[in-house]
A = this chain, B = another copy of it.
Amino acid sequence: MPEYLPTAPYRGTRDFLPPEMSVRTQVFGKLYEVIERYGFLRYDGPILESAEIYEAKSGEEIANQQLYTLTDRGGRRLALRPEMTPSVARMIAGNAGSLQFPVRWYSHPNCHRYERPQRGRVREHWQINVDIFGSTSASCEIEIFELIHDMLGGLGASEDMFVVRANDRNLLSSALTDVVGVTQEQLPEVFALVDRWEKYEREKLAASAEEIGLSGNQFDKLGDVLAAGTALLDELPAHVKDGSNLVKVLGSSAAGLIRFDPMIVRGLAYYTSTVFEVFDTSPENNRALFGGGAYSDLASLFTPQQIPGIGFGMGDVTLMDFLQTHGLLPQPRSEVDAVVIPVVEELGDAARQVAATLRRAGIRTSVPLEYRKLGKELGRADKAGARAVVIVGQEDWDAGNVTVRSLVTREQRQVTVDAAPTTVTELLTD
């Protein structure tokens, strides 16, 4: 007995069969549309990159543990991109001379990370990346926040389903040093502690704070700072606030798009001021959906030119969970709009001719590849989600006619072959 290979995809990766793929293309097609309305241009890059662009810049965890690496036959050390930012930094740096900054770019790559698969985490995921490069204006923050609201709104989400929690790392630094009394040396560790604030129990946090060298009083103050919301701003020096784009946003008509939250820091190293995370507000799915931030110097690995920017990455797994939680997932599209059915096998050619006229009118149309009785074929057309069938019978055909039938209303009309596309279109839009 022969042995067969397993049909499951590699662990942590996914097959997208037509129904899932239809949902995916609808969701992301909508997002492309919204993003392009803001004047963002799509780009793409290779999956394989030189391994060193990740090892040089990313956090230790990714470079050492989560990166898929390989060596090609020419001895080059390569990696499957774990994220798009280093790739786009490379492209921006390589083309900076011919670009009219600021530029608005987006992409939709798949990224690979070797992780233990679990809810919300896979090894290959598809991520929308949106960035503005070459500007430090607070208008960038406003545009990114507006876009996020429109993207989720475009997918049917109402404003109560999500919240954009935003912070400025410089405001937090100031609060930590000026209010809590954290030293410059302690700052990185305290940032890491803040990043875990909502995930850990209070006791564990207190233990960590003690290890860093914070007193009990400092730990309590830290808790107050993180829970203060906009009241924290009153405690910060004017020069710090004056330099913050986020403070400008909070003072603008766009303030309602975000909630200022000192607790948001983001793990990734390259953010330097504004950082934000979008949270699902549903108690069932109460977690970060995606996030991003601003960086003062994106492409320092590749060029001496300082290129600031702001952007975010939105992964498909958490997005789909969000849509599902709120009942916003679209239905898969039907397989076809219409099926042309020959009543006898000899009319197969005629059926193909009719199908061609329907297709020219933009109607997704199939013709049976193998002859079956009309009743059987009607059942299959129904199952494929067709809303109309065109029946080609011998007498009709000899007279230049066909019969168009709605599978929804069961209404049926005899029309000329030339009129068939119009009739089908009418039935489809009923």
Least distance between A43 CB and chain B CB atoms (Å) = 5
With A50-B10, A359-B150, A369-B102 as given contacts, are A43 and B68 in contact (CB-CB < 8 Å)?
A: no
Chain B residue with the shortest CB-CB distance to A150: B359
Interface string of A243-280 (1 = CB under 8 A from B): 00000000011100000000000000000000000000
* CB-based contact A46/B14 at 8 Å: yes
Q: Which of A47, A78, A123, A132 has the most CB of B within 10 A?
A: A47
With A22-B41, A369-B135 as given contacts, are A7 and B91 in contact (CB-CB < 8 Å)?
A: yes
A175 to B110, CA, bound (A): 48
Chain B residue with the shortest CB-CB distance to A39: B366
Q: Which of A14, A18, A301, A362 has the most CB of B within 10 A?
A: A18
Least distance between A97 CB and chain B CB atoms (Å) = 11
A199 to B258, CA, bound (A): 64
Give residues 53-90 of A contacting B (CB, 8 Å): 53, 56, 65, 68-70, 72-74, 76, 78, 80, 90
* CB-based contact B105/A37 at 8 Å: no
A348: Cβ under 8 A from any B Cβ = yes
* CB-based contact A335/B41 at 8 Å: yes
A49: Cβ under 8 A from any B Cβ = yes
* CB-based contact B18/A43 at 8 Å: yes
* CB-based contact A302/B7 at 8 Å: yes
Task: Count the copies.
Answer: 2
A137: Cβ under 8 A from any B Cβ = yes
Q: Would you list the 10 A-B pairs with minimal beta carbon distance, nearest first?
A: A7-B94, A39-B366, A13-B46, A18-B41, A70-B70, A16-B44, A39-B336, A37-B359, A139-B369, A135-B369
Give A contacts to B, CB under 8 Å.
2, 4-11, 13-18, 21-22, 24-25, 36-39, 41-50, 52-53, 56, 65, 68-70, 72-74, 76, 78, 80, 90-91, 93-95, 100, 102, 104-105, 110, 112, 114, 123-124, 132, 135, 137, 139-140, 142-143, 146, 150, 252-254, 301-304, 335-336, 348-349, 352, 356, 359, 362-370, 380, 383-384
